[in-house]
Amino acid sequence: MIIYIPEPMELLYNKEAPELITLKLASGGFITAERYGNDKIRILSLNSTDPMDYMNEKYRPGSIIEMKISL
More confident position, 70 or 32:
32
> Is the full-model pTM beyond 0.75?
no
Residue 9 has pLDDT above 60, yes or no: no
List, for residues 45-66, the tens digit of each pLDDT value.
999 999 999 999 989 999 999 9
Provide mean pLDDT across the span 7-24.
70
The structural domains of the chain, with segments of one domain joined by +, span 2-66
Q: How far apart are CA 57 and CA 31, in angstroms?
A: 13
